[in-house]
Amino acid sequence: MNAISTNKRSLGVNFTPTGEASVVLWAPLLESADIRVAGKNKIPLKKQEFGYWQLTTTELQPGDQYKFVLNNEQEFPDPASLSQLDGVHGNSEAINISDFNWTDSNWNNLPLADYILYELHTGTFSPEGTFAGIAEKLDYLKSLGVNAIEIMPIAQFPGSRNWGYDGVFPYAVQNSYGGACGLQTLVDLCHQKGIAVVLDVVYNHMGPEGNYLGAYGPYFTDKYNTPWGNAINFDDAWCDGVRQYFAENVLMWFRDFHVDALRLDAVHAIKDFSAVHILREIKMHVNQLMKETGRTHHLIVELDLNDPKFINPLEEQGFGMDAQWIDEFHHALRVTATGERTGYYSDFTSISHLAKSYQDAYVYDGQYSPHRFKKFGLKAQNNPGQQFIVFSQNHDQVGNRMLGERTSQLVSLEMQKLMAGAVLVSPFLPMLFMGEEFAEPHPFLYFVSHTDPDLVEAVRKGRKAEFAAFHALGEAPDPQSEETFTQSKLQWEILNQEPHQTMLRYYQALIQLRQNTPALKNLNRQNLDVVSNEETKTLLLHRWHENQHVLCIMNFTQEVQPVTLPTYADNWQKLFDSASLEWNGQAAAPDAISSGIPVNLQPESLVIYQNS
């Protein structure tokens, strides 16, 4: 087995300082492997141990197009290709990613606890739908208060329109977005502006079109079944080569693209019973890279297991992931705000579960789950607040709705403000989904641009079947239609209109308040009390740091509700009020009030007080 090097990429085509091309291919079951450079004769690779094939040549130069020839028969793109200019079925392009002229030598990431995350989709975030389009909006994001952008997957997918989760070349940056150099340019510019970059990567499945990994070797195993078919082979025969393939991919994003953090999609769908889980192995390699470079990198996971083993440190026999998304906070908040109880929302009983998530992160940490028909989860007692990422919406929670409605289309403006506040006063890392900060009314739909007609029809049928019970709402939008994609783009022109302009100022003020208030900024989960009232649907979140105490009081009903302030301090001074006239509210709460005196909370509002 090839040893994994932290200081350089070994797989695929790489160039030596002397200009030679080093070609390494993992294909353990082949009889022969050749590389065919466009316009030239094919060149044989030499078989090495553990299924690797190798070649060093001057016949391949940066910019050349090539494919591998397997067993003198079929030709396929490079599984570790860095560039697919002609899409997933075309030639691979040889590029030298170390040629980029970085200017971020003084950058060394932000502390994870300081992240204010903003999830965006490259194709729909800007009119251009490219990395350059994102770059044009960095000053806007900076003025919003965002300091970390989370970019949805950019691994090469079929066509030019895709959610990102149908990628089939984990090493190749989507050509229609700007390719490898475009991503490097964006990351470099982000760092100049003090913005960290989080990249969403998918290691639990591959997309269906252009997925040629199986032609090269046992990248998949039928030991386990996943929603996408056979699982990626992390623990079956020949898995060492597969593990190296994905571990090196992680290191590449950090080392060669200067990405600050990765968000690993749906790690609960990674099947691995090895003595060393692949996530644990990845963490060990990243630790070694950080030791060698002095740069800090974070690993964030999407996890649907409520198992702190994933985020516990290596020395405690955990997998060492730095943080995880908490869908349960979203679900509890959504049920509290809307009363929706279908599907997985049926597990959540309004405001008491929201209070529990503030206190314990996980809502289910050992109790019986009616939706799952079993006990579920473990307590996350010793995990700091920075290990949990919360949100009022994200790409999944919006895009998995048949009509892709954002919160702006489902609740009132006042409730939108309250939900934003509920996220931003939490003792966790907050994440915004692109456009929510100005109440974007456009949907975020599910879209693809497959080129295989049979696959296109299968996706259409699957989407219709998924929402068959919702036929009263009409037909599910066609995922293949360009109109579906266009409808999902942000409308930047509405920023100068109301209520969008006021909503943007509201988010800016709330983020600034969080950053400037120690009791909100410090993510100490121990310095927290929370009391909810199921009858009045009010919640009082008390957070403190040293001598500063802050009360965040929320009313999720459409009626005025009285809430009596606790006796943590004699007097309280108002810091923020979503019902203020400044935010187009109805009536503000008192600027100062004493303990034991009721505050009349306006409908669907948030008020924040500090001890005086």
Please tell me whether 119 is known to bind a ligand.
no
Task: Mark out the alpha helices in 361-498 (DSSP H runs).
Answer: 395-399, 413-424, 453-466, 482-487
Structure tokens belonging to residue 41? 């004769």
Q: Which residues pair with 553 in a beta bridge?
A: 540, 607
Please tell me whether 396 is known to bind a ligand.
yes
DSSP state of 260: -
What does the alpha-carbon distance between residue 227 and residue 225 come to, in Å, rounded to a whole number? Answer: 7
Give the burial class of 474: count Cβ atoms within 10 A of its Cβ; 0-12 exposed, 13-18 middle, 19 or more buried: exposed
Please tell me whether 267 is known to bind a ligand.
yes
What does the alpha-carbon distance between residue 517 and residue 170 come to, in Å, rounded to a whole number? Answer: 41
Q: Which residues pair with 54 in a beta bridge?
A: 24, 46
Please tell me whether 459 is known to bind a ligand.
no
Please tell me whether 93 is known to bind a ligand.
no
* Omega before 499 within 30 of 0, i.e. cis: yes
Please tell me whether 328 is known to bind a ligand.
yes
Give the burial class of 590: count Cβ atoms within 10 A of its Cβ; 0-12 exposed, 13-18 middle, 19 or more buried: middle
Please tell me whether 439 is known to bind a ligand.
no
302 given a catalytic annotation: yes
Contact call for residues 506 and 583 (beta carbons, < 8 A): yes
What residue has token string 């001598």?
A: 547
Q: Among residues 133, 109, 111, which one has the least CA distance to residue 123?
A: 133
Question: Is the torsion defined by CA of 255, 257, 262, 266 positive or negative?
Answer: negative
Structure tokens belonging to residue 121? 């989709």
Please tell me whether 560 is known to bind a ligand.
no
Please tell me whether 263 is known to bind a ligand.
yes
265 given a catalytic annotation: yes
What does the alpha-carbon distance between residue 40 and residue 48 come to, in Å, rounded to a whole number? Answer: 24
Contact call for residues 351 and 337 (beta carbons, < 8 A): no
Please tell me whether 168 is known to bind a ligand.
no
Please tell me whether 330 is known to bind a ligand.
yes
Structure tokens belonging to residue 229? 């078919």
What does the alpha-carbon distance between residue 572 and residue 565 come to, in Å, rounded to a whole number? Answer: 9
Please tell me whether 400 is known to bind a ligand.
yes
Contact call for residues 84 and 90 (beta carbons, < 8 A): yes
Give the burial class of 341: count Cβ atoms within 10 A of its Cβ; 0-12 exposed, 13-18 middle, 19 or more buried: middle
Q: Of these residues, 150, 281, 302, 577, which one is catalytic? A: 302
Task: Please count the other Cβ atoms lying within 10 Å of the Cβ belonging to residue 543.
Answer: 27
Give the number of residues written for the chain.
612
The CA-based angle 91-181-39, given to 5 degrees, is 25
Q: Of these residues, 78, 150, 235, 265, which one is catalytic? A: 265
Contact call for residues 172 and 156 (beta carbons, < 8 A): yes
Contact call for residues 175 and 82 (beta carbons, < 8 A): no
Structure tokens belonging to residue 307? 């198992």
Instruction: Give the up-direction half-sphere exposure of residue 533: CA atoms within 13 A in the CB hemisphere.
Output: 15
Task: Please count the other Cβ atoms lying within 10 Å of the Cβ belonging to residue 260.
Answer: 27
Please tell me whether 220 is known to bind a ligand.
no
The CA-based angle 380-383-385, given to 5 degrees, is 110
Instruction: Give the up-direction half-sphere exposure of residue 327: CA atoms within 13 A in the CB hemisphere.
Output: 15
Please tell me whether 397 is known to bind a ligand.
yes
The CA-based angle 252-256-257, given to 5 degrees, is 100
Please tell me whether 264 is known to bind a ligand.
yes
Please tell me whether 331 is known to bind a ligand.
yes
What does the alpha-carbon distance between residue 551 and residue 529 come to, in Å, rounded to a whole number? Answer: 10
Catalytic residue set: 265, 302
Provide the annotated binding site for substrate.
Answer: 263-268, 327-331, 395-400
Provide the annotated binding site.
Answer: 263-268, 327-331, 395-400
